[in-house]
Amino acid sequence: MQLLRKTKNYTKYRKFLTILFARLFFYGKINAGGAFMNEFSEQELVRREKLNEIRNYCNPYPENFERTHTLKEVRELEDGVKDVKIAGRIVFMRKMGKLSFARIRDLEASMQLEVKIDTIGEENYNFFKKLIDIGDFIGAEGEIFTTQTGEKTLRVHKLTFLGKALRPLPEKFHGLTDIDQKYRQRYVDLIMNEDSRKVFLGRSKLYAFLHKYLGENGFLEVETPIVQTAVGGASARPFYTHHNALDIDCNLRIAPELYLKECIVAGFDRVYELAKCFRNEGMDTQHLQEFTQVEWYVAYWRYEDNIKFFTNFIKNLLTELLGTQVITYQGHELDFSKENWDRIDYCKELESVLGFNALEIDDPQELKKKIVEANLFTYGDLEEYKSLSQIIDFVYKKKIREGIVQPTIIFNYPAVLKPLARRCDNDPKRVDVFQIVVCGTEICNAYSELVNPLEQRAAFEDQLKAKDQGDEETMDMDEDYLSAMEQGMPPISGLGFGIDRILMLIYDAPSIRDVVLFPMMKPENK
């Protein structure tokens, strides 16, 4: 190197060696065994070479940058405002002779930058043209003006490099066209896709509205255990784990219901939880193993009170997020603004579809036989369903629920489907329950809750019998919960709904994965 320094071509040689080193180092790092790893594309190699050059000018990954405005805020400034400092990721560049343009973006907005050699100096301008790429982060300081085309722009006086992107972004107009990669690389999807950013900003706004609305209506937010010692609160197949310190088997919660109702026993009249729940079941456009739901419980209410409260909540939520109560979902115009939504009596509709009263049959095989004889399904269709509740629920979903489009209240459920619900006073085979269904999908589920501990114990025992019949989605006998019930419970109505399904409706998403930031995916190498 000393000899090179004495030659007139030192600069050229130094550049050559820098590029050579970068290519050798980055094209495949050599591990301890001498094998090459991490092959890069040509673009990735070039970006790594630029990173190496940037180190000669500045730290390519500085600690911070002090902004005066976000990009949303800066777009509201008047022309002529000086000393404005903004930052963001470069998503567009047009490099020319002595005048170039770039566009940077943050979470909520974008901003055009004017970069001029006369303004920032030759050395900085050459740095910008030569070493900065789309995807890089930069800070910019300057003056606000509006172009002749009406574009709010920052005339840059000073540039600060904030972070090198070593991988190029997808093509501007295509983004991530592979759906699988869209979910795996959500960070890239959010960079490129404004609709995706809108969904997840909306998700945050939904949470804020939920807490505000329930708080203003006297609800207390509580937290209940995620790792539990008994399966309860819903019919579902749980995930199991083991608690090493206590040496006991546990499960991840499928619903927070039982603990929330224990809070009612304690004297909290109105409680809710925004809860992560886990169900070890199939994956499709409507289901994920990990999802977010809201459950609330109110002392002294019956399920009709919850119908009124929830429908008003949804109307106010739509107004808050979209400014309207009439939305379009997958080609269907849905009207949530009506004072009284459509209603369907579950038991009456089920009997109409079957041609007989399923509640009079106690044997699952006999029920299957009668369904097949009615030419509704084959034995093959019904093979995986073992218990009465599973069979009835399958018929309902296929023959009734799938045909519902407009917001509809389904009520008067069979008791065998809802072991935690209060039985109707005039018919113990039915329960005071309602669901709201939109476009064939359940949006919420609500009960007049069972508060009689003796009836609850009998219902748990029926669940154990169903488990013996092969139903893996039954609840355990929960002695802790029964003990709480025996302490005394007032009348209660509870309701639960999935955040993800609500967001699907609001943002016209065909799959639940479109509204979850990081949905569960099978590893690519499996």
> What pLDDT sits at residue 471?
76
Same domain, 120 and 207: no
The segments of the chain whose pLDDT lies below 50 read 1-11, 26-37, 173
Tokens at residue 426, please?
A: 């005039």
Gyration radius (Cα) of the chain, Å: 31
Same domain, 153 and 279: no
Q: Residue 299: phi, psi to the nearest 5?
A: -70, 140
Same domain, 322 and 211: yes
CATH of the domain at 479: 3.30.930.10
Same domain, 83 and 16: no
Q: Is 110 within the bounds of a domain?
A: yes
Provide the number of structural domains found in the chain.
3
Give the count of beta carbons closer than 10 Å to the beta carbon of residue 403: 9
Q: How many angstroms separate the CA atoms of 390 and 493, rounded?
A: 24
- Give 153's contacts (C-beta < 8 A, 6+ positions apart): 111, 112, 113, 114, 144, 145, 146, 147
Same domain, 320 and 432: yes
3-class secondary-structure state, position 499: helix
83: left (phi over 0), alpha (psi -120 to 50) or beta: left
The answer to whether 281 touches 237, Cβ cutoff 8 Å, is yes
The answer to whether 406 touches 372, Cβ cutoff 8 Å, is no
Nearest CA-CA partner of 67 in 84, 80, 91: 84
Q: How many angstroms separate the CA atoms of 383 and 66, rounded?
A: 64
3-class secondary-structure state, position 139: strand
> What pLDDT sits at residue 172?
57
Same domain, 157 and 231: no
> What pLDDT sits at residue 2?
29
Same domain, 261 and 329: yes
Please tell me what DSSP assigns to residue 56. Answer: T
Q: Is 456 within the bounds of a domain?
A: yes
Q: Residue 167: phi, psi to the nearest 5?
A: -115, 135
CATH of the domain at 154: 2.40.50.140
DSSP-derived secondary structure for 457-489: HHHHHHHHHHHHTT-TTPPPP-HHHHHHHHT--
> What pLDDT sits at residue 260?
96
Same domain, 417 and 279: yes
Nearest CA-CA partner of 154 in 103, 97, 95, 91: 103
Same domain, 127 and 32: no
The residue with tokens 């900003």 is: 201
Q: Is 177 within the bounds of a domain?
A: no
The residue with tokens 């040689």 is: 13
Q: At what angle do helices 453-468 and 479-486 cross, to 10 degrees?
A: 160
The answer to whether 374 touches 307, Cβ cutoff 8 Å, is no
Q: How many angstroms separate the CA atoms of 517 and 481, rounded?
A: 34
Q: Is 382 within the bounds of a domain?
A: no
In 72-136, where do the E strands start and end? 84-94, 99-105, 110-116
Same domain, 309 and 427: yes
The residue with tokens 């002392």 is: 299
> What pLDDT sits at residue 31?
40
Q: Is 522 within the bounds of a domain?
A: no
Q: How many angstroms separate the CA atoms of 453 and 471, rounded?
A: 24
Q: Is 479 within the bounds of a domain?
A: yes
Q: Residue 278: phi, psi to the nearest 5?
A: -135, 125
The answer to whether 478 touches 460, Cβ cutoff 8 Å, is yes
> What pLDDT sits at residue 23?
53
Same domain, 113 and 213: no
> What pLDDT sits at residue 3?
29
Q: pLDDT tens across 371-388, in order?
A: 999 999 999 999 999 889
**Last residue of a domain, which of 163, 180, 203?**
163
- Give 232's contacts (C-beta < 8 A, 6+ positions apart): 254, 255, 257, 258, 475, 476, 478, 481
Quote the domain boundaries for residue 33: 2-39
> What pLDDT sits at residue 28?
47
Same domain, 33 and 95: no
Residues β-bridged to residue 93: 102
Q: Is 322 within the bounds of a domain?
A: yes
**Between β-strands 270-278 and 220-221, what pairing exists: parallel, antiparallel or unpaired?**
parallel
Q: Is 524 within the bounds of a domain?
A: no
Give the count of beta carbons closer than 10 Å to the beta carbon of residue 390: 23
